[in-house]
Amino acid sequence: MATVTTSAAQKRSIDANVLTRKQRSLWQDAWWRLRRNKAAMMGLGIIALAAFLAVFAPLIAPFDPTVQDTKVNNMDPFWVDSIYHNSRFPLGSDQLGRDILSRLIWSTRISLVVGLVPTLLVFTIGVTLGLLAGYLGGWIDNLLMRFTDIIYAFPDLLFVIIIMATLRNTWLGDIMGGLVLIFVALAVVNWVGLARLVRGQVLSLKEKEFVEAARATGVPTRRILIRHLFPNALAPVIVSLAFAIPGAMLAESVLSFIGIGIRPPTATWGVMINEGYTVFSQSPWPVLLPAICISLVMLAFTFLGDGLRDALDPRMKT
């Protein structure tokens, strides 16, 4: 007859083994893998820098980004060999005489907010609907998924443009210089992808035995969704959000560039490109500098997203 008792000596050695081994959760594992990814860490560094600039913009920026001084307009950046220089504007000034450096710094603020807030909305809507549709199934699933299909069928940018163009002059478009409307428009368009992703995850997860075990323990449906299914579906969601943030930032720039995004006195990279475009024949820098900023931050998020995907993929476990 097999016995399950262990001798005192055995117990001691087992204790010793446990003590020497470090405890690591799945997330700690993922962080450890992410840290070894140079590109992702570089991306994280750029994002951290951008976040720093955004938070402390009023302290860092030498000028108010909206103050005009037409006597010193169209100044070139300091490295350009021309006679139009002004030592107050290291990166030059635009056609209204505003400091480009200050405008770039303040734009970081808008860009990050536009990246984060709609993504947060997307996360809330997408995860909730995806979880419900996937787990409850039946007609609820059908209803929610047909609804997502309809929105999915619209070309994204066209849909956003329609929303922006029609609601821009209503009260909703006026709040915070059109910022809130952009949040809403981007969230409305982008939640579908995430909802589908989460639903797919849940469909495969809910067949797993641990969900049945949870039901057999008497765990209510809401708790199964939140505590058992959601954390298991989180990894692909995080990756998808890491790619959604630069998407939203780019969308804001595009909208501002074509003139239906943020209203002009506010500085955003898209607005700056839009305005710099008119003086492009004289100096490319008012366009190039914000474009470089957009590219850099987009690249940073893409690197981070790639890194997260590798780090959170269980098949890459080492």
Partner 1 sequence: MPELLEVKDLKTQFFTRDGVVRAVDGVSFQLAAGETLGIVGESGCGKSVTALSLMRLIPQPPGKIVEGSIMFDGQDILKMDDDDVRAIRGNNIAMIFQDPMTSLNPVLTISRQISEALELHLKMDKAEAKRRTIELLELVNIPSAKKRADDYPHQFSGGMRQRVMIAMALSCNPKLILADEPTTALDVTIQAQILDLLKNLAREFRTAFILITHDLGVVAGMTQRIHVMYGGQIVEKADTNELFANPKMPYTWGLLRSIPRLDESRKAKLLPIEGLPPDLIAPPPGCRFEPRCQYRREICGTTPPELKHIPNAKPDHEARCWGTQEGGWLVNTDWRRDVGSLEQLEAIKQEVADLPPEVKRIEASGEVPPPPSA
**What is the binding site for partner 1 (CB under 8 A)?**
1-6, 11, 14-15, 18-19, 23, 25-26, 208-210, 212-220, 223, 227-228, 231-232, 234
Contact 242, 226 (CB under 8 A): no
Task: Provide the minimum distance between the beta carbon of 232 and partner 1 in the complex, in angstroms, as a whole number.
Answer: 5
Tokens of 187: 């969230």
State how far the Cα of 186 lies from the Cα of 164, in Å rounded to an integer.
Answer: 10
Nearer to partner 1, 167 or 219 (CB): 219
Q: What secondary structure, in 3-state letters, does 180-249 show?
A: HHHHHHHHHHHHHHHHHHHHHHHHHHCCCHHHHHHHHCCCCHHHHHHHHHHHHHHHHHHHHHHHHHHHHH
Minimal distance, residue 136 CB to partner 1, in Å: 13
How distant, in Å, are the alpha carbons of 5, 189, 228, 301 from that of 129?
50, 14, 16, 26
Q: Which C-beta is closer to partner 1: that of 47 or that of 229?
A: 229
**Alpha-carbon distance 123 to 186, whole Å?**
12
CB of 73 to partner 1, least distance (A): 57
Please report how close the Cβ of residue 97 comes to partner 1 at its closest, in angstroms.
56
- The answer to whether 164 touches 156, Cβ cutoff 8 Å, is no
**Smaller CB separation from partner 1, 58 or 231:** 231
* Cβ distance to partner 1 smaller for residue 6 or 295: 6
CA 128/CA 147 separation, integer angstroms: 14
**Beta carbon of residue 31, minimum distance to partner 1 (angstroms, whole number):** 15
Taking the least distance from each CB to partner 1, the nearer of 23 and 318 is 23
Q: In this complex, which beta carbon is closest to partner 1, that of residue 2 or of residue 59?
A: 2
Residue 90 near residue 104 (C-beta atoms within 8 A) = no
Residue 30 beta carbon to partner 1: minimum distance, rounded to whole angstroms: 11
